[in-house]
Amino acid sequence: MYKTLNLHIDRASWTTVLPPYRRRCPFPAGQAHTRISFPHALLWIGITSVPIRIPRWWLASQWALLRYFAAANHQETTLRLHEAVDDLEKHHKQVLSDDWGVGFALQWLCSRMRYRQLGHGSFVIADLQDAGLAKFSKRSKNGAAKCPDFIALAPNGRFHLIECKGNQKGPNETLNQFVNGRKQKRNIRFRREKLVGQRILTGISIASARSRWASTLRVEDPPPENENSIEVHEINVETARPINDSLQKAAVIRGLLSAGAYDLAHRAFAKETETIDVRTLQRPRLSEFSSKDTAWIGQEYELVYPVALRAQDGSEFRGARMRYGVAANLVRRAAVQDPDRLRTFLLEAETDLSHDDLVIGTGRDFEPLQRHAIIQQGSSFIAEMEIL
């Protein structure tokens, strides 16, 4: 199920950057439209909604599917909200915009940049700070001092800093949101700037049923507004290894929690997952399932929609099935590890993101009503959604 929207790449934002920050624009010129896998975008919203420090919140992984699947008008191939969304209050519409701004941007970027790892910027910097390799001069969840949303590891070994915005007011509102976004992309200083591959700012304007404009994704690499500005986050590493280690830790903990393996996550990463709930929760009932010729252990659940949703070809969507799992072989091997070695064992797990969802053309391999989405991390973790 792919959705089409307008695409605006601000190529000038790459060419006007000061020399120390200048990078080649990684996106091809002349592309005015793009497609994004709607189920994959929802899956990304779910994955990134799980706070590592609060294991009971693994249910947040279902949030995007439960709330947002029917929010789009599936009788159109373009990305447009269902007319009923207009009845929501401002606050709920703003949450939708923020969530879609993250999910659609990550899906679009991951399918094109082929990221190996991706984690919350705040977790990575806090983890580096605990190791004495980063420091904050100011902390904030919004405004210019906010840490960029995500840090990703590109195939060439360099890091991408990603800030995501979303709105339902239109492309001009994206430019307004970028005022703070540009500052947020320049408030991290690396001791070695060559470790940074891209500083990407994305903004998606989501058209309603009555909008006279089309949904648009805008992407740019913002130049610093003031070369002498004071950065509020410093990463003082000489090599990529410490950042890679933090991204790996985030991937392993997130994968374990999403699959419901709280006890394993807490035994290996007690400090990172510390919460009183871990000592009182009963062990969740895990199930074993097979996907992509691999046995997984984790959570399975199915949702039946109260009414069937109609697609543009007349077919219907009647429900959805979601599965989050950790490789059964990894669980069995982890069970025999000495407690002192368990953490090291898990941090050596294969967690590179797989990418089999890139869609550019409209040939036979293009499946506009694609109902299946998988985000897999190496041979270790899987998140899967099937629209029924």
- Res 140 pLDDT > 70: no
361 pLDDT band, cuts 50/70/90, is very low
178 pLDDT band, cuts 50/70/90, is confident
Mean pLDDT of all residues in 191-215 = 94
* Per-residue pLDDT, 248: 97
301 pLDDT band, cuts 50/70/90, is confident
- Res 359 pLDDT > 50: no
Taking the C-alpha atoms of residue 178 and residue 249, their distance in angstroms, rounded to an integer, is 30
Segment 157-169, tens digit of pLDDT: 999 999 999 999 9
Structure tokens at 115: 């990221």
Taking the C-alpha atoms of residue 3 and residue 9, their distance in angstroms, rounded to an integer, is 18
Segment 307-322, tens digit of pLDDT: 888 888 888 899 989 9
Beta bridge partners of 330: none
* Per-residue pLDDT, 191: 87
* Per-residue pLDDT, 344: 95
Q: Mean pLDDT across the chain, nearest whole number? A: 86
- CA distances to 24, 107, 338, 371 from 244, rounded to whole Å, are 23, 21, 24, 33
Q: Are 322 and 384 in contact (CB under 8 A)?
A: yes
| Residue 240: partners with Cβ closer than 8 Å, 6 or more residues away | 153, 157, 158, 159, 195
Taking the C-alpha atoms of residue 335 and residue 23, their distance in angstroms, rounded to an integer, is 45
| Residue 6: partners with Cβ closer than 8 Å, 6 or more residues away | 32, 33, 171, 214, 215, 216, 217
Q: Are 163 and 181 in contact (CB under 8 A)?
A: yes
- Res 136 pLDDT > 90: no
Mean pLDDT of all residues in 197-210 = 95
Query: Would you list the DSSP string of 111-139?
Result: HHH--SEEEEHHHHHHHHHHTTSEEES--
* Per-residue pLDDT, 360: 44
H or E stretch at 268: helix 262-268
Q: Is the full-model pTM beyond 0.85? A: yes
* Per-residue pLDDT, 279: 54
In the block, residue with structure tokens 């509020």: 232
Better-predicted residue by pLDDT, 178 or 289 = 289
Mean pLDDT of all residues in 179-188 = 69
H or E stretch at 167: strand 159-167
Mean pLDDT of all residues in 313-340 = 91
Structure tokens at 75: 């009788």
Mean pLDDT of all residues in 53-72 = 73
- Res 59 pLDDT > 80: no
Q: Are 163 and 149 in contact (CB under 8 A)?
A: yes
Better-predicted residue by pLDDT, 111 or 230 = 111
3-state secondary structure at position 176: helix
Q: What is the dihedral of CA 257, 134, 110, 377, to 10 degrees?
A: -40
